[in-house]
Amino acid sequence: MESYKKLEALFTKVSRLNHFISLGDWDMNTYMPPKGEESRGEALATLSEIRFGYMTAPEVKEWLDAAKQGKAELSAVQQANLREMERAWRSDNSLPVEFVGRKMRLTTRAHSVWRDSRAANDFAKFLPVLKELVELAREEGGYLAAGTSLSPLEALMNQYEPGITTKKVDEVFDNVKSWLPQLLQDILKKQASESVTAYSEKFPLDKQEALCKEFLRVWNFDMEAGRLDISPHPFTGMTKEDCRLTTNYIEETYVQSLYGVIHEGGHGKYEQNCGPRDMITQPVCEARSLGVHESQSLFAEFQIGHAASFVEYLAKRLPEFFEPQPAFSPENLKKALQRVQPGYIRVDADEVCYPLHVILRYEIERDLMEGKMEAEDVPRVWNEKMQQYLGLSTEGKDNVGCLQDVHWSMGSLGYFPTYALGAMYAAQIMASIRKELGDEKVDECLRTGNLGPLLEKQKEKIWDHGCLYETDDLITRATGEKLNPEYLRKHLEARYLGA
Residue 298: per-residue pLDDT: 96
Per the annotation, the verdict on 323 as an active-site residue is no
The rounded distance, in Å, linking the Cα atoms of 230 and 237 is 12
CA 405, CA 400: separation in Å to the nearest integer?
9
What does each C-alpha distance from 198 to 142, 325, 343, 353 come to in angstroms? 52, 10, 18, 22
**Average pLDDT value for the chain:** 96
d(CA 436, CA 18): 38
**Catalytic pick from 86, 161, 264, 271?**
264
**To which H or E segment does residue 395 belong?**
none
Position 233 confidence tier, pLDDT thresholds 50, 70, 90:
confident
Inter-axis angle of helices 354-369 and 166-191, to 10 degrees? Answer: 150
C-alpha angle 239-242-247 in degrees, rounded to nearest 5 = 95
- What pLDDT shows up at residue 204? 97
Please give the pLDDT value at position 37.
87
> Could you give the 3-state DSSP secondary structure of residue 243?
strand
For residue 499, name the pLDDT band (cuts at 50, 70, 90). Answer: low
Hey, how many other C-beta atoms are within 10 angstroms of the C-beta on 452? Answer: 10
Q: What is the pLDDT of residues 412-463, one digit of tens each?
A: 999 999 999 999 999 999 999 999 999 999 999 999 999 999 999 999 999 9
Q: Are 352 and 496 in contact (CB under 8 A)?
A: yes
What is the distance between the alpha carbons of residues 54 and 72, in angstroms, rounded to a whole number? 26
Cα–Cα distances in angstroms (integers) from residue 469 to residues 162, 270, 461, 483, 491, in the given order: 11, 16, 11, 15, 27
Q: What is the pTM of this model?
A: 0.93
CA quadruple 143, 148, 152, 156: dihedral, nearest 10: -80
